[in-house]
Amino acid sequence: MADSLSPECTPLKQEYDSCFNVWFEGYLSPAISPSATDAQRTAHYQRKAKEFEDKCGKVYKEYQACLQSAVKQKGIEPLLQQAREEHPLREPLPPATPSSKDS
């Protein structure tokens, strides 16, 4: 796994990554049945989101505390703010354009 931009955050970062990866594999593999109702779907994802928070939330907070101060020290923050303003990217990209070959 890749290092953190700040060496002192690398152990926390790798611990968090490992935690996420274990959760994520389980998240992707048994996809919820296509016939599930909206309510069932929401309940499923809510349970999964909570499970992630319970498992990885603590190490995530420790990692973020370390990372955020490194981002400030390295002077990356203003660039990051500018990028977030230009492209918030809060929503997924729209579906593939009709010109694409697949589908």
Partner 1 sequence: MHFFQQSFLYDHSWAHVVSGLNFKYPNSRCTHVLSIDVLDRTVDPKTGIIRTERILGCKQKAPGFVVKLFGGSEDAFVREITFVDPARQEATVTSVNLSLSQFATCFERIRYSPAPDNRTAFTQTAEIQARMTLWRSAADGLEKWLVERFEQNAQLGKLGFTDVLRALSEERQTAP
**Site for partner 1, residues 74 to 103, rule: CB under 8 A:** 74, 76, 79-80, 82-84, 86-87, 89-90, 92-93, 95-96, 100-102
Residue 17: C-alpha distances to residues 4, 6, 44, 80 (Å): 11, 15, 23, 22
Closest CA to 12 of 75, 72, 77, 70: 70
d(CA 33, CA 51): 20
d(CA 57, CA 75): 27
User: Residue 33 interacts with partner 1 (CB under 8 A)?
Assistant: no
Q: Which of 25, 37, 85, 98 binds partner 1 (CB under 8 A)?
A: 25
Q: How far is the CB of 48 from partner 1 (least distance, A)?
A: 7
d(CA 102, CA 7): 43
**Site for partner 1, residues 42 to 81, rule: CB under 8 A:** 42, 44-46, 48-49, 52, 60, 63, 67, 71, 74, 76, 79-80
Q: How far is the CB of 7 from partner 1 (least distance, A)?
A: 9
Q: Which of 41, 58, 61, 72 binds partner 1 (CB under 8 A)?
A: 41
